[in-house]
Structure 1
C-alpha cells in the first residue's frame, strides 16, 4: 500500500513538472480620468519544452488608441526541476476614445496546437476629451491633427499633418492664419503650408483638405501631449477661431551607455573642420576656421562641437550659418560654425574640436566620432614679408603711392580755341538753312496740334472706374522690376562690397513697400498678414531680423551673405507677384 502511494505521488510530480503555461494581463489601475494613459502588462510564462506557434494576438481595441508598445523576453533553467522556464512581458499604452465602462477582451496565443487566453475585464473611464474641436459659430469647419509615428526617441522627429473637414467645400478657402503649436518640451518646424487637392469623401459625408505639414521634435522623454493647431475662419460678417485636437506621443528615453561627451545629437552626422581664409596664417592676425556638421537629424537644435581651447591660439565665439532643408523624410543639410582664430606663435599649430558623439535611431546605438583636427602653419610678420615675390612688392608699393601721393592737375590752356579774323560764308549759309528748317518744323507741329485737338473732342470720355481699379493701376505704374535689384545684389555679393549690399537691400524693401502704399515695416507686416497669409508675414519678420543681424555683424562670411540673398530673392519675388 505504501509503495502504491509513493508511485502515485511520483506520477503527479512528473506530470506537473513536465510543463505548464500561464498567461495573464494586469492593468495599472481600474479607474481612469480622460487624460490618463492606460498601461497594460501581459505576462506569458512557459515551464518546459514548448513551441509558441503564433505571436500574442490582441483583442478588439477600436475604443482605444494604441500610443506605445514594448516587450522583453528572458529565460533560465530551474535547477530544482531541471526544466527551461521562459518568460515574455509585453507592455501596452492605450488612450481611451470614450467614457464609461469599457470591456477589454482576451489576449490569445497558440502553443503546441493549443490556444491559451486571458480572462476579459472591465475598466472605468470617468471623462474623455473630444478629438475634433471646432469653436466657430456655424460648427461646420473642423481641424484634425494626425501623427502617424507616435513612438519615437527623444530628439527624434515625427511628422504631423493638419487637415480641415467640412461638408461645404467653399469653407476651405476661408481658413487662414495657421498657428503651429508652441511648447517648452517640443520644437516644431513647418515643412509645407501648400494646400492639397480636396478629398470629397474622406470622413463620412465631409470633404477634407491638407492645410499644413510640420515636424515635431520632442526634447524630453515620457508621454508628451502635442497642443492643438489653431486657425481662423474668415467670413463676410466675422472671424472665428478654430482649434484642432491634441495628440499624445510616447517619447522613449535614449538608451544607457552613452559617451561622456554625448549631448543631444540624434540622427546621422559627419563633422569636418577647414581653414576658410585665403591668405597665409600670420601670428596675431585673425583667420577664419569653419566647423561643419552635416547629415540628417535634429540639426537646428543640437549642440555643435566647439573648437577646444589651446595656448597656441585664441578662439572667439562662432557665427552660426544653417543650410538646412526640412522635408517629409526629416531635417537634412549642414550647419557651419565660423570661428575667428588668432595664432599666438609661429610654426605648426593644431586646431582641434571637442569630442562629438550622436545617437543613431536606425541602428539604436551611439556613434563616437571623436575629435577632428586641422593643422595650420603660422608665419611671423617678417616671414610673410620675405616670402613675397617681386611682383607683389611692386604692386604693394604702387598701391601705397597712389593712396598717399596727390597727382598734378592737367593744364587746360593748351586746349583753348584760338580766334580767327577770316569771314566764312559757308557758316552763314548753314545757319540760315538751320533757321528755315526750324520754322518749317514749327508750322508742322502747330498743324499736328490742331488735328489732335479735333480728335480729342470726338472721342467719348473714358470712365473713371472704381477706387480699387484706380489703386491697382497706380500700383502697376509704381511697380519696380525687382530682378534688377537681384542682379545688382548678386554682383555686390561676388565683389564682397557688403556695405553697399545692405544699402541696396534697404532700398529694395522701401520700393516694395511703396508698391503697396505702406510706409513703415510694421504696417507692411500687418498688410502681408491680411492679404498674403500669416506664414508670409512671419517669414518677412524673420528675414528683417536676419538682415539686421548680418548687417551689423563684425565679421561677414561669404556663405552667410549668399544664404541671405537666396532668402531675399525667394521672399520678395513671392511678395511682388
Structure 2
C-alpha cells in the first residue's frame, strides 16, 4: 500500500513539473527620487510543451503613471537537467510617476490552459515629482519648453531663460527653425545665443532634447509678470507648422524703500568714468569732446544715464550714445558711452561735473550712491595756443595757409600741404604680407608635388610575389579583424548614450569575427566554436548573444548595464579572435 502511495505522489509531482507556469513582476527598486523612471520587468515562463497561452498579459491599473516606453522579447530555453523546453516571455515597461508618496502597483494576469495566473501586488515610494509644463504639438510630436530657474527677482533685474525642444524622433529636432522670442511692453528681452547644443538622448520623459536658444529677460514692472510663449516653426518638405512654448510667470519684487534721490532705475553693479582724449591744448571758443562712460553689469540697455551738469563756463550739446553690450548668463555686460561736445566760453580752469548717480545692487540688496564725477580741464586763449607752438609747427601752419590761399592753375599746390601727423601705411603692409603668404603657399604646393612623385615611383617598382605559403599568410593577416578599433568605438558610443548605433556595431563586430573563420551564420559559428574552442567558449558565446538581444529591445537602457555587457563582449571576442 505504501509503495502505491509513493508511486502516485511521484507521478503527480512529475505532472506538475512537466507543466509548470511561472509569472512574476518586479521593479528595479522600491524607492525613487523625483526624476527617476520606474522600470517594471514582467516574466512569464512556460515550462512544458503542452502549455498554451490563451490571453495576452493584462497589465494592472497604471493611471498614476505616464507610460513612456515598453518592449517585449521572447526566447526558448531548454533545461539541461530535465531536457524540457522553457518558453520565456519578457516585457519591460518604463513609467513616469504623476504624484508622490506610496503607490501600489496591482497584479498582472494571464490565462494559460484555461487557468488564470496572477502576480502579487506591491508598493513603491516616490519622494517627489517635479511638474513641468510643456507646450505640445501633437501633429509632429515636437515639444517646446521655456525654462526659467530664477523666477523671483527685483524690478529691472535680469533672469536667464532657456528654450528646449523635445521630440521622440531626433530627426524632428533638426527641423525646428525661425525662433521668435517673446515681446511685451513690460519686458525687455535680449538674446544670449541661438547656437544649438548637442542632442541629449535622455531628456524629459527620456525623450531626446536640445537647447535651441538662451535669452535674458528684464521685467520693468513689479508684481506677477507673465513671460509670453516663444514661437518657432517645424519645416518639412511637405509643410511648415508653427509651434509655441509654455508661458512662465515671474514674481517681480519691488525695490526696497530708502532709495537716494539720485536713483533712477539702474539695477546691477556699475561705475562711472569721465575723460578727455585729445592731446592738443584746449582752446576757448572751440569744440571739445568729453566722454562719459557707464560700465558694469545690469540693465545697461534701458537705464537712465547720468548727465553732465550745465555751467556758464561752457556750452554743452546733446550727446551721441554708443553701446558695447554682451548678453551672458549673468545679464548684460559692457558699457554705454556718451560723447558730449563742449565749447568753453572762457580761458582758464574748467570743472566739468556730472549729476549724482546711484544704483541698486541686487546681490547685496542695497543702494550704492557714486556721487558726482568731476573732470578738470584747462582752456587757453588763441594767442596762448600760438605761443605754445614750436617753430616747426608755426612754419608748417604758415606754409599750409599759403598753399590753400594761393593755388596755381598749372600745378595744384594744395597737394603739397604739410601734414601735421604722418600715418602708418597699412595698405602697403597688407600687400607685402599677402605676397609673402602667396610665396609660402607655392612652396608648400611644390613640396607636396615632390612627395607625390616619390610615392608614385615606389608604387611602380615591382615587388617580389614570394612563395605560396607567404601569399597565404598575407591573405590571412588581411582578413584578421582589428578588434581594438571596434572596442574603442563601442566605448565611445556607450559614453555618448548612442545605444542604437552601439548594437549595430556589435552586430558588425560579430559578422567580422565570423568572416575571419569563414562562417556565414551564427549556428555554424557555434558548431565551429564547439569543435575548435571548446564547449565552454561556445556556451559563453550563446549566452552572450541572448543577453545582447535582451538589452537591445529593452525600452530604457542604463549606462551601467551597457558597460557590463561591453566588458563581456571584449572578453569573449578577444578569446575567439586569438
Normalising by the smaller structure, the TM-score range is 0.3 to 0.5
The TM-score normalised by the length of structure 2 is 0.48
State TM-score, norm by structure 1: 0.48
